[in-house]
Chain A
């Protein structure tokens, strides 16, 4: 009975997917939603015949998922979720494929349920930092949920960057773990031990707690590097677990960066969505012309207070133009740090004010999709 219902669900979902593509929609959400509406168990049923790999974390999910999919594709066909389509219906949609492997990006709050439903071979945990707090509420709250599910999932290998104390805590009681450390990176929200609530001791970017939680207990230890470098390494560790050969990546492949030529100028878009990704982006080389785009829709985080959790000092000396729905939040934030900007109503206006041939655009999540994709 349920098999029949699943077949019917897939048929309808694929039909809708086909029709919606006919009228020009990218539509990964709608077919997945229909599938789950007709067969609520679709995810676990579809996952049964696949090797499933899940990727989650605050930053780097989409690009690292792509990297893992590339690595695993050496072994066979891979079903994967489209850009940022990381809720349950995105997973459901991807799992409809007949491919033997599925590599899925999963939203932090949806991860426990998807682990329970798919019984994955490997789960890669990248990082947990403050993001969309109107929805996540607290970083610790997300880590608590992960901890419970990671402890339960006895068939799964968890690969985690334990320089992040939240991840180390999440997998602390898991059956199969590969703890990875690069060392020397102070976690921006890591003052308190997520396991016991004591004040964490940080020395040179490494932590330890009286309860025993430390990043010195890793199975694998590597030199430090950029987020792109670390995520490429983590992706290859996942690949090795499922038997794939390592693949080399350009760092640009593991960053949410897109360069487009617009009115004869090279416009370099970079996704910046929370303090951690902003800090990473501001450490990179920026053009003299910089455009900042800030929105605060649901997926951007509807509260902009976090702008004050990082320093924008790297923008000093640049020609800065600000736009987006929350441009004033941004303009005032950097104003107080001594950086003056022009506030304009549209991205086109911002472009027209640029002086040189190269423009760096640091942009919120929703704007990144509208402007760069």
Chain B
């Protein structure tokens, strides 16, 4: 049973990223891979044995609460070290970085990715397309954030920006390390880019998975790619 841990959805669910869990479960189901989504609230301890951990976008106060709760016991960092898959979007991406700064304070992040985040000059809002090394076709999504993220030396981005802003620095979006993926793509990103959902499933299972024929998913992804260039 594949365990998909949706972290603090009441805090990190402002921009529809909760849908990433639904898509993972759905695409696992198409292959008859058993999967379940476990919602972990701010008040619950984070389970240790999850296969995939998901963090989404949030407003400022919610982001800070979530970070404070996740610091306890460093469970997420340990799970990631053991190879668990982590997808961290927007505020979630900032939380799993080394540090993030607001206008008046600096916070130590969870340190899963060597990236630092600071306030930018203006809000970055709109459709975004990136080219990730994993996929032949571009990925698409929607970004809505005001901070910019700088990668540590040698840290690979998740993708290079084709349209939109991403990290807001150097034409890059996101970052990655082993099975930890950070990105600014909402949409939700796995709904817009089913091949990314499949990559996460493969990483979580540690083996290749069969291809599936979900015409609507492909049609949707293709259409978004055609629109955002």
Contact = CB atoms under 8 A, between A and B. Distances in A.
Nearest to B214: A335
Interface residues of A, number: 31
Given A137-B144, A140-B59, A305 B19 contact: yes
Interface stretch (A98-106, A112-120, A324-332): A324-332
Nearest to B57: A305
A336 B23 contact: yes
B34 interface: no
B156 interface: no
Contacts of B11: 191-192
Given A134-B144, A191-B42, A303-B142, A332 B17 contact: no
A13 B187 CA distance: 43
Contacts of B42: 191, 199
A222 interface: no
B188 interface: yes
Interface stretch (B92-100, B130-138, B173-181, B217-225): B217-225
A307 interface: yes
Interface of B: 10-11, 13-19, 22-23, 26, 42-43, 59-62, 64-65, 123, 125-127, 142, 144, 146, 186-188, 191, 216-217, 219-220, 223
Nearest to B69: A199
A140 B62 CA distance: 10
Contact of A305 (B15, B62, B126): B15
Nearest to B142: A303
Given A137-B123, A137-B144, A191-B62, A305 B26 contact: no
A198 B223 CA distance: 41
Contacts of B61: 140, 192-194, 197
A306 interface: yes
A306 B19 CA distance: 9
The listed residue with most A CB atoms (<10 A of its CB), out of B18, B43, B191, is B191
Contacts of A194: 61
A199 B65 contact: yes
A280 interface: no
A305 B142 contact: yes
Contacts of B65: 192, 197-199
Contacts of A240: none
A309 interface: yes
| 6 nearest A-B residue pairs (beta carbon) | A308-B19, A305-B16, A197-B61, A191-B10, A308-B16, A303-B142
A255 to B, nearest CB: 25
12 contacts: A133-B15, A134-B144, A137-B144, A138-B59, A305-B15, A305-B17, A308-B17, A332-B216, A332-B217, A333-B191, A336-B23, A336-B191
A45 interface: no
Nearest to A303: B142
B17 A134 contact: no
B59 A192 contact: yes
B220 A328 contact: yes
B126 A336 contact: no
Contacts of B191: 308, 332-333, 336
Residue picked from A197, A308, A336, most chain B C-beta under 10 Å: A308
A227 interface: no
A139 interface: yes
B21 to A, nearest CB: 9
A245 interface: no
Contacts of A308: 16-19, 22, 188, 191
Contacts of A133: 14-15, 144
A175 to B, nearest CB: 26
A337 interface: yes
B2 to A, nearest CB: 16
Given A138-B59, A305-B15, A336 B22 contact: yes
